[in-house]
Structure 1
Amino acid sequence: MWTEEDWDPALYKWEQIADVIRQRIIAGEHDKPEDRLISEVALREEFDVARGTIRKAIEALRAEGWIITKAGKGSIVVPKDDRPEPPTQ
């Protein structure tokens, strides 16, 4: 679980969560076809944040083209060949 020391005060928490998830996708944690992200509940527990914060992070990733959401299936990682270019740091 994340603690207050893990957060960068210069960024919104949802931005940092989206970045962690994006980095996990880039690292290959979700490379199987139709691979789903862990549930919102599990993400809330991992980062110890409100549901709205997790939803905002997921929405950002969806808007960027990293995931799609399907009713009843949750958030699904876009296939590797269809993903956007990783952000430059």
Structure 2
Amino acid sequence: MESALPGLAPFERVAAAIRDAIVTGNEWSPGDQLPSNRALADRYEVSLPTLQRAVGVLREEGWLVSRGSVGVFVADPLPEQKRSETLAELRETVSTLRSDLAALEQRVSAIERSDH
């Protein structure tokens, strides 16, 4: 499992990965059934309780629905909250912010030098 989200608990990283897979449509789309909890726990290399906690969070947020004795499905329609950014989009945003910050630091340094 990718640990590109430092500071998050394992269940939060799993929830983010599943949410990302739904938002991008790379794995699941609205109405699709997810693999079993055990299969998902193996896939994300976490314990079954950790996976179940992640699924619980996603159910509370409206991303997933459970159908007793049938399984867990991607909600259809997806929740009407702000669209979550994908991990790739977040990385790109951070990269852009870093370069903008560097440019601002250079401008401030130039202004400070010209004042003295």
Q: Equivalents in 1 of 2:75, 2:63: separation in Å?
A: 6
Distance 1:68 1:21 in 2: 13
Gapped regions of structure 2 (runs ≥ 5): 91-116
Is the 2:36–2:71 Cα contact (8 Å) retained in structure 1?
yes
The count of corresponding residues between Structure 1 and Structure 2 is 83
Q: How does 1:1-89 map to 2 (within 5 A)?
A: 2=1, 6-7=2-3, 8-28=5-25, 29-31=27-29, 34-79=31-76, 81-85=77-81, 86-87=83-84
In the alignment, the residues of structure 1 paired with residue 78 and residue 59 of structure 2 have an alpha-carbon distance, to the nearest angstrom, of 13
Name the CA shift for 1:48/1:31 in 2 (closer, same or farther; >3 Å).
closer
**Greater Rg over alpha carbons, structure:** 2
Identity %: 29
> Which structure's relative contact order is higher, taking Cα pairs within 8 Å and 6+ residues apart?
1
What's the RMSD between the two structures over aligned residues?
1.8
Separation of aligned partners in 1, 2:36 and 2:48: 11
Q: CA deviation at 1:75?
A: 0.8
Q: Does the Cα contact within 8 Å between 1:65 and 1:83 map onto a contact in 2?
A: yes
Bigger helix share: 2
Q: Deviations over 1:6-32 (max 9, x none)?
A: 324411000000000001111123225
CA distance in 2, matches of 1:9, 1:25: 21
**What is the TM-score normalised by the length of structure 1?**
0.79
Spell out, residue by residue over 1:34-80, the C-alpha distance to the aligned partner (whole angstroms, 9 max, x if none): 3111211111111221111000000000000001111111111111x
Q: Matched residues in 1 for 2:41 and 2:78: separation?
A: 27
Distance 1:65 1:57 in 2: 12
Instruction: Report the AA paired with residue 76 of structure 1.
Output: F
